[in-house]
A and B are shown apart, each in its own frame.
Chain A
Amino acid sequence: MLSQNIFTITENEKIADKTFRMELSGDASAIVRPGQFVNIKLNGFFLRRPISVCDCTGSGLTLIYKTVGAGTEYMSTLHAGEKLDLLVGLGNGFDTSLSGDSPLLIAGGGGVPPMINLTKRLISEGRRVQCVIGFNTANEVYCERELRKLGAEVIVTTADGSYGVKGFVTDAVRGLAYSFFYTCGPLPMYKAIRSVVSSAGQYSFEERMGCGFGACMGCSIKTRQGAKRICKDGPVFNSEDIIWEELEK
Chain B
Amino acid sequence: MTNSPDMKISLCGLELDNPIIPASGTFGYGHEFAELYDINVLGSFSFKGTTFEPRFGNATPRIAECPEGMLNSIGLQNPGVHAVINEELPKLEKCFRKKVIANVGGFSVDEYAKTSELLNACDQVGMIEVNISCPNVHNGGMSFGTDPAAAAEVTRAVKAVTTKPVVMKLSPNAADIAAIAKACEDAGADGISLINTLLGMRIDLKTRRPILANKMGGYSGRAVFPVAVRMVYQVYEAVKIPIIGMGGISSAADVIEMMLAGAAAVQVGAANLVDPFACPKIIKELPGVMRNYGINKLTDIIGGAHNG
Q: B-contacting residues of A (Cβ < 8 Å)?
A: 1-2, 4, 41, 45-48, 71, 87, 207-211, 213-222, 227, 232, 249
* Known A-B contacts A4-B275, A216-B72, A220-B56; A208 and B32 likewise in contact (beta carbons under 8 Å): no
Interface 1/0s, chain B 66-103, versus A by CB < 8 A?
A: 11111010100100000000000000000000000000
- 8 contacting pairs across A/B (C-beta < 8 A): A1-B35, A47-B70, A48-B274, A216-B26, A217-B77, A219-B63, A220-B56, A227-B56
Chain A residue nearest to B55 in the complex (CB): A227
Report how far A207 CA is from B60 CA in the complex, Å: 8
Q: Least Cβ distance of B24 to chain A in Å?
A: 11
Interface contact B32-A215, CB-CB below 8 Å: yes
A4: which B residues are within 8 A, CB to CB?
Answer: 275-277
Among candidates B48, B63, B222, residue contacting A210 with C-beta atoms closer than 8 Å: B63
Interface contact B272-A211, CB-CB below 8 Å: yes
A207: which B residues are within 8 A, CB to CB?
Answer: 60-61
Chain B residue nearest to A211 in the complex (CB): B273
Interface contact A47-B274, CB-CB below 8 Å: yes
Report how far A249 CA is from B61 CA in the complex, Å: 12
**Majority SS at the chain A contact face:** loop
B107 in contact (CB, < 8 A)? no
B 185-204 contacts with A by CB, 8 A: none
Chain B residue nearest to A85 in the complex (CB): B275
Report how far A224 CA is from B66 CA in the complex, Å: 33
* Known A-B contacts A1-B35, A211-B276, A216-B25; A45 and B57 likewise in contact (beta carbons under 8 Å): no
B14 in contact (CB, < 8 A)? no
Chain A residue nearest to B79 in the complex (CB): A227
A45: which B residues are within 8 A, CB to CB?
Answer: 65
With A46-B222, A209-B63 known, 17 other A-B pairs at CB within 8 A are A2-B35, A45-B65, A47-B65, A47-B70, A87-B276, A208-B63, A210-B70, A211-B26, A211-B272, A213-B276, A215-B33, A217-B25, A217-B57, A217-B74, A219-B60, A220-B57, A227-B77
Q: A-contacting residues of B (Cβ < 8 Å)?
A: 25-28, 32-33, 35-36, 48, 56-57, 59-70, 72, 74, 77, 211, 221-222, 270, 272-277
Report how far A2 CA is from B48 CA in the complex, Å: 21
Q: Least Cβ distance of B198 to chain A in Å?
A: 15
Q: Least Cβ distance of B204 to chain A in Å?
A: 10
A87: which B residues are within 8 A, CB to CB?
Answer: 276
B27: which A residues are within 8 A, CB to CB?
Answer: 215
* Known A-B contacts A211-B276, A215-B272, A249-B59; A46 and B70 likewise in contact (beta carbons under 8 Å): yes
Among candidates B35, B36, B56, B74, residue contacting A218 with C-beta atoms closer than 8 Å: B74
Report how far A133 CA is from B273 CA in the complex, Å: 34
B276: which A residues are within 8 A, CB to CB?
Answer: 2, 4, 87, 211, 213, 215
B272: which A residues are within 8 A, CB to CB?
Answer: 211, 215
Q: Closest 8 A-B residue pairs measured CB to CB? A: A211-B273, A218-B63, A208-B61, A208-B63, A210-B63, A217-B77, A214-B32, A47-B65
A221: which B residues are within 8 A, CB to CB?
Answer: 60
Chain B residue nearest to A207 in the complex (CB): B60
B275: which A residues are within 8 A, CB to CB?
Answer: 4, 41
B61: which A residues are within 8 A, CB to CB?
Answer: 207-208
Q: Least Cβ distance of B88 to chain A in Å?
A: 14
Chain A residue nearest to B213 in the complex (CB): A249
Interface contact A210-B273, CB-CB below 8 Å: yes
Interface contact A46-B274, CB-CB below 8 Å: yes
Q: Least Cβ distance of A39 to chain B in Å?
A: 9
Report how far A216 CA is from B273 CA in the complex, Å: 7
Q: Which of B57, B65, B77 has the most CB of A within 10 A?
A: B65
B35: which A residues are within 8 A, CB to CB?
Answer: 1-2
Report how far A225 CA is from B67 CA in the complex, Å: 36
Report how far A215 CA is from B33 CA in the complex, Å: 8
B222: which A residues are within 8 A, CB to CB?
Answer: 46
A216: which B residues are within 8 A, CB to CB?
Answer: 25-26, 63, 72, 74, 273
Report how far A203 CA is from B123 CA in the complex, Å: 42
Interface contact B60-A208, CB-CB below 8 Å: yes
Chain A residue nearest to B63 in the complex (CB): A218
A47: which B residues are within 8 A, CB to CB?
Answer: 63, 65, 70, 273-274
Report how far A207 CA is from B77 CA in the complex, Å: 17
Report how far A207 CA is from B275 CA in the complex, Å: 19
Report how far A221 CA is from B61 CA in the complex, Å: 10
Q: Which of A41, A48, A215 has the most CB of B within 10 A?
A: A215
Report how far A221 CA is from B72 CA in the complex, Å: 16
Report how far A1 CA is from B270 CA in the complex, Å: 22
A220: which B residues are within 8 A, CB to CB?
Answer: 56-57, 60, 62, 74, 77
Interface contact A232-B63, CB-CB below 8 Å: no
Chain B residue nearest to A222 in the complex (CB): B56
Interface contact A46-B62, CB-CB below 8 Å: no
Q: Least Cβ distance of A66 to chain B in Å?
A: 14
* Known A-B contacts A207-B61, A213-B32; A46 and B277 likewise in contact (beta carbons under 8 Å): no
Q: Least Cβ distance of B117 to chain A in Å?
A: 25
